[in-house]
Structure formats: structure tokens, C-alpha cells
Amino acid sequence: MKLDINNQTHEVDADGDTPLLWVIRDDLGLTGTKYGCGLAQCGACSVLVDGKVMRSCVTPVDSVVNRKITTIEAIEADAVGKRVVEKWVEHQAPQCGYCQSGQVMAATALLKENPHPSQEEIAAVMINLCRCGTYNAINAAMTDLAGTKEGAK
Ligand code: FES
Ligand code: FES
């Protein structure tokens, strides 16, 4: 089957029910997307599909044929994604970094849909788990990006 990943067409030989994450990492070598829980809980495996965040560990690869998949490797080709990465760097959000590609994906998807989310809207969406506890830095970056500083706690 053919997959559109990062604006490139990839011919993939996989069973239709194979998780997209396996194809991205093992078949295509795009290892920026991480495997955490494998159960749609942690968000480490998040990618964008048609601009919306999806957990690739539970997404069958045949469900994303003919859709536009974006991984962390290409997120800075997106204007919103580029701004997110710049703010992540400015606020030094990553510690070990393992969860951060998923965090950036969640942030980008939110800001594409809602450029000025409130603190409540940020909290509702930024639910990816981080073992290093970078939540405060992520929230500071998101508050900057949202331009709603006055709403920050
Ligand atoms: S690895 Fe997919 S949500 Fe945790
Ligand atoms: S930065 Fe280490 S798990 Fe989030």
C-alpha cells in the first residue's frame, strides 16, 4: 500500500492491521516517533493525520492510506509546528526528550485548530505523559504560543 508521509509517497508492504507506528519506525526508519505504552494512553507515538493528532500505536496502517501523515521529522515544514518547536527550545521543555515529539504533535494539532486556546483548553488537550515532569515548561511554552498570558495561573 502507499502512504503519504511528510509529503513523500512510501510504498509499504505490511498487513492492513499493522499499527502505523511499527511501519513508521521499523519499516521507514523514522524513529523520532516513540513507542511508550502501546495502548493509546501516553501519547509518545502521536503523529498528525490530516492535521489532527492520532496515536499511531493503535492506528491500523490501512486506515491512513490516502491521508496526509506528518511525523516529527517534518513538523518544522509546517508554520505552526515550527513556532511550537521554537517555543519548546526557548522554554527548554525537553528533559530526556522521549515524550517530546508526541508533545509537539499534540501542541501543533491544538494550535492549528484553535490558535488562541485558553488555559482550560490547553489543559484538556495537552494530556501526553512525561516521566521527566516537564509539564510546567510545556505549559509556559503553550501559554506563549496561545498569546493568552493574562489567563495563565
Ligand atoms: S505509545 Fe501510543 S499512546 Fe503510548
Ligand atoms: S522529557 Fe523525558 S519523558 Fe518527557
Q: What is the position in ligand 2's atom list of the atom closest to the CA of 97?
A: 1
Work out the percent of the chain whose per-residue pLDDT is above 90.
96
- Per the structure block, which three cell numbers stand in for 107? 501542541
Mean pLDDT for 77-104 is 98
C-alpha 102: how far from its chain's center? 4
42 DSSP assignment: S
pLDDT at 151 over 60: no
Cβ–ligand 1 distance for 117 under 6 Å, the answer no
Q: What is the pLDDT of residues 134-150, one digit of tens each?
A: 999 999 999 999 996 55
**Residues 7-45: pLDDT tens digits?**
999 999 999 999 999 999 999 999 999 999 999 999 999
Q: Say if ligand 1 is within 6 A of residue 20 CB.
A: no
Instruction: Tell which one of 37, 88, 128, 131 to mutate to probe ligand 2, the residue whose CB is within 8 A of the most ligand atoms.
Output: 131
